[in-house]
Amino acid sequence: MIAIDTSSNAGTLFADVQAQHVFDDQKTFADAVPLYSLPYIAAKYAHQKEQEGFSLLQFVRNNFMLPGQLTEHNQKPKKSIDDHIFGLWDKLTRTNTKDNGSLIGLPHSYVTPGGRFEEQYYWDSYFTMLGLVESDRVDLVEGMIDNFTYLINTIGFIPNANRTYYLTRSQIPFYSAMVRLLEEIKGPEILIKYLPTLQKEHEFWMKGSETLDEENNCCLRVVRMENGSLLNRYWDTENTPRPEGYALDVAVKMQAPDNKELYRNIRAACESGWDFSSRWLSDGKNLHSICTTEIVPVDLNCMLLHMEKTILAAFSLSGNISMQKKYEQLVAQRTAAIENYLWDEDSHVYKDYDFKNKHATSSFTLAMLFPLYIGISSNERAAAVLSFVKKNMLKEGGLLTTNVKTKQQWDAVKGWAPLQWIGYAAALNYGNNELSENIRKSWMQNIEHKYRLTGHLMEKYPVVMTASDNDTGGEYPNQDGFGWTNGVYLKMKHSL
């Protein structure tokens, strides 16, 4: 990837390609691999760009290897959806042990999401793994977990995906859920094996907590709440346009020139995995109002609690009494803080918390299900959440992501496989079998209907069936493949 330093020729080339929209998808050039040294290409560009008849697109094609994608023509399926998915696993699998352009080499093969995504993504991988287990591909599951372990040990955390331009942020932490998934197959000794890296990831998320006090209440990804408890937020160490979304970010900045943290807030939303959603927007609709780093999110803190509980289980298994007591305290503190700050008594659901203004945000999102997914909610609160979800979020094609319609892809009318699974599992955890079955059936029927028509499995789907198939929003087209859709579909099917 070309560094975005516009004072350099290489940076000028990158900015020109992105600003002129040479490719419809901004990620294309960010993922391109230079065929020659960057200084040589940059010098050539500086010399040639003013020449008559110069084509920037042709220059890029002559000097970079562009990423390929899994693509299929629209066609009615010739095989069952299960057979289609089983065949896709190998098509989506990559083996890249050496760094190549912006791609970071990993020691084991991995399953990519599909389409424009040629990397091993963090939270995507857990939901893909659900289907890999059902397909008897535990080899791939273990290899992908070990890839994440390698990243923790070499760079100190799991990045958004194995690209150099993702090294400033992580993603919602599902590593402990992956370890637990493998534990179900291979036994409790798995917890001991991955304990050191679980601790390292926890340290990454809690870095800076020791510096916080009443005056300085936030640092990196940690927030000190009014009562002294610690919760977390999404963050990014850079405050510059994203290489894979350069033109969009610059355009948004022009709408809010005084927002000095705008780029960081965009990047932090990408760390959430919900890029983008009204839940991060102070005015609920415009991307230039994004304020991700001012929000304590429900889902993030629940998954960090899951991580802490997993570490506690590992220390209990190993017999380390002092560390067991430490994590018992951490688990109790975070559980109490989630219930204190992320439960909204006015609406009787869990909500994100605006820690700058000290109140719940206005957004109603499926993140409210995460306390039920990890099993910490009281029966009374869980019943209220599930009642709200049934009444307001469940549609004929699955669960809405939020209850407001915007141009963003993590809002209505869109539905996403990982959140369908979270909702299904949350309802099951609290004995609401009717709701869990309705979520499962509505989502699976949506997938099956679209597959019968097109032979495709997509990244996201409209869940309001009167909506257009193109009504899926976002900064890039809906993608074909698709890892987490495949995984959740198989897991739900085999959960009958």
Catalytic site residue 339?
Answer: no
Phi/psi of residue 345, each to 5°?
Answer: -65, -25
Q: Which of 142, 275, 299, 352 is catalytic?
A: 275
Q: Measure the CA–CA gap between 259 and 377, rounded to whole angstroms.
A: 37
Burial of 56 (0-12, 13-18, 19+ CB in 10 A): middle
Amino acid present at 423:
G
Whole-number Cα distances in Å, 230 to 221, 259, 298, 327, 353: 10, 27, 13, 14, 13
Burial of 273 (0-12, 13-18, 19+ CB in 10 A): buried
C-beta neighbour count of 55 within 10 angstroms? 11
Q: Which of 119, 183, 459, 475 is catalytic?
A: 459
- Tell me the residue ranges of DSSP E strands in 367-469: 394-395, 398-399, 414-416, 460-462
Q: Measure the CA–CA gap between 16 and 250, rounded to whole angstroms.
A: 12
Task: Give alpha helix (H) positions in 103-156.
Answer: 122-134, 138-155
The answer to whether 369 touches 291, Cβ cutoff 8 Å, is no
- What is the SS3 assignment for 68? coil
Whole-number Cα distances in Å, 336 to 230, 326, 370, 384, 449: 10, 16, 15, 19, 43
Residue with tokens 């002294």: 228
Catalytic site residue 480?
Answer: no
Residue 321, C-beta contacts closer than 8 angstroms, at least 6 positions apart:
none
Q: Residues, the chain, total?
A: 496
Which residues are marked as active site?
Answer: 275, 459
